[in-house]
Structure 1
Amino acid sequence: MSAPAVPPSRDRRRWAQYLVNERAEARVYRDLAARREGEEREILLALADAEGRHEAHWLELLGGEPDRLPRADSGTRMLAWMARRFGSIFVLALAQNAEARSPYDTEPSATPAMVADERIHHEVVRGLAARGRRRLSGTFRAAVFGANDGLVSNLALVMGIGATGAAPQFVLFSGIAGLLAGALSMGAGEFVSVRSQRELLDATEPSDYADALLPDLDLDANELALVYRTRGMPADEALKRARRVVETAQAADRSVPYSRTETGPISTRSHEVVGSDLGAAVSSFLFFASGAIIPVLPWIFGLSGVTAVVIALVLVGIALMSTGAMVGLLSGGPPLRRALRQLAIGFGAAAITYLLGLLFGVSLG
Structure 2
Amino acid sequence: MRETGHADPRPAPDRQPRPADVRRWRRYLADERAEAAVYRDLAQRRTGEEREILLALADAEGRHQAHWEQLLGVHVGMPQRGDLRTRLLGVLARRFGSVFVLALAQRAEARSPYSRDADASPAMAADERIHGEVLRGLAARGRNRLSGTFRAAVFGANDGLVSNLALVLGISASGAPARTVLLTGLAGLLAGALSMGAGEYVSVRSQRELLEASTPDPEASTALPHLDVDANELTLVYRARGMAAQEAAARAREVLAGLGSDRPPAAPVGAAPDQDPHEAVGTGWGAAASSFAFFASGAVVPVLPHLLGLTGTAALVTACVLVGLALMTTGAVVGLLSGAPPLRRALRQLAIGFGAAAVTYLLGLAFGTTAA
TM-score by length of 2: 0.90
Residue 47 of structure 1 pairs with residue 57 of structure 2: yes
Quote the offset at 1:227 in angstroms.
Answer: 1.6
The residue aligned with 1:270 is 277
Q: Summarize the Cα distance change of 1:135–1:247 in structure 2 as closer, same or farther, 3 Å threshold.
A: closer
Residue 27 of structure 1 pairs with residue 34 of structure 2: no
**Partner deviation per Cα, 1:28-64 (whole Å, 9 max, x = no partner):** 1222223223332222222222212211211111114
Quote the offset at 1:237 in angstroms.
Answer: 4.2
Residue 328 of structure 1 pairs with residue 318 of structure 2: no
Quote the offset at 1:106 in angstroms.
Answer: 1.7
The residue aligned with 1:105 is 115
Residue 200 of structure 1 pairs with residue 181 of structure 2: no
1:140-159 pair list within 5 angstroms: 140-159=150-169
Q: Are the aligned partners of 1:208 and 1:257 in contact in 2 as well (CA < 8 Å)?
A: no
Q: Summarize the Cα distance change of 1:211–1:149 in structure 2 as closer, same or farther, 3 Å threshold.
A: same
- Report the secondary structure of 2:277's partner residue: helix
1:286-297 pair list within 5 angstroms: 286-297=293-304
The residue aligned with 1:167 is 177
Question: Of 238, 247, 265, which residue of structure 1 is paired with 2:248?
Answer: 238
CA distance in 2, matches of 1:326, 1:221: 55
Amino acid at match of 1:16: R
Q: Summarize the Cα distance change of 1:211–1:174 in structure 2 as closer, same or farther, 3 Å threshold.
A: same
Question: Of 66, 72, 78, which residue of structure 1 is paired with 2:82?
Answer: 72
The residue aligned with 1:183 is 193
CA distance in 2, matches of 1:39, 1:240: 26
- Report the secondary structure of 1:125's partner residue: helix
The residue aligned with 2:360 is 353
Amino acid at match of 2:217: S
Question: Of 321, 324, 332, which residue of structure 2 is paired with 1:314?
Answer: 321
Residue 120 of structure 1 pairs with residue 130 of structure 2: yes
Question: Of 218, 222, 227, which residue of structure 2 is paired with 1:217?
Answer: 227
CA distance in 2, matches of 1:239, 1:54: 46
CA distance in 1, matches of 2:254, 2:123: 45
Superposed CA RMSD = 2.2
**Partner deviation per Cα, 1:133-174 (whole Å, 9 max, x = no partner):** 111111110100110000000001001101111111110111
Which segment drifts farther, 80-89 or 212-221? 212-221
CA distance in 1, matches of 2:247, 2:43: 41
Amino acid at match of 1:259: P
Amino acid at match of 1:338: R
Which segment drifts farther, 315-324 or 236-245? 236-245
CA distance in 2, matches of 1:69, 1:252: 65
CA distance in 1, matches of 2:335, 2:70: 38
Quote the offset at 1:82 in angstroms.
Answer: 2.2
The residue aligned with 1:10 is 20
The residue aligned with 1:284 is 291
Quote the offset at 1:261 in angstroms.
Answer: 5.8
Quote the offset at 1:203 in angstroms.
Answer: 0.8
Q: Summarize the Cα distance change of 1:351–1:62 in structure 2 as closer, same or farther, 3 Å threshold.
A: same
The residue aligned with 1:56 is 66
Q: Percent identity?
A: 67
Q: Summarize the Cα distance change of 1:115–1:243 in structure 2 as closer, same or farther, 3 Å threshold.
A: closer
Q: Are the aligned partners of 1:17 and 1:69 in contact in 2 as well (CA < 8 Å)?
A: no
- Report the secondary structure of 1:165's partner residue: coil
CA distance in 1, matches of 2:345, 2:249: 50
CA distance in 1, matches of 2:164, 2:105: 35
Amino acid at match of 2:248: A
Gaps of 5+ in 1: none
